[in-house]
Amino acid sequence: MITGKISINSSPETSLYHIRKTETFFERGRGLLGCTGLEEGHGMLISPCNSIHTFFMKFPIDVIFLSNDNRILAIHLNMKPQRFSRSANASSVLELMAGQTDISGLQTGDTLLWEPLQ
């Protein structure tokens, strides 16, 4: 996995750091399974992906579905364990700590830019 940051077009001064981006089929399949939680500003970008589940997870997450051009298509706040969600038009999914979406001011239609950390 590669660690990077995400900048938000509607609020360029706001960035999410420590966003891990999946690179392999195994990483996409594992996702956040086995994690005990996420810290503020941390998350996972899963690509390609248009559906996720929280089966066997121990904590809720905010789920953000992104288009091919990294525009936010849908936001599912505080998705609890043992749930499933999808967006047919999504090409990737950003998973964040529950509540991080509101803290960061993310909104449907925003464009996100992921950059690897040096």
Calculate ∠ Cα 64-70-72, nearest 5°: 40
- The arithmetic mean of pLDDT across residues 98-111, rounded, is 92
Burial class (CB in 10 A: 0-12, 13-18, 19+), 109: exposed
Confidence of residue 12 (pLDDT cuts 50, 70, 90): low
13: which residues sit within 8 A by CB, 6+ positions away? none
pLDDT value for 11: 66
| pLDDT > 70? residue 46 | yes
All domains in the chain, ordered by first residue:
2-116 (2.60.120.1140)
pTM over 0.95: no
| pLDDT > 80? residue 56 | yes
Q: Cα(67)–Cα(111) distance, rounded to whole angstroms? A: 9
| pLDDT > 80? residue 29 | yes
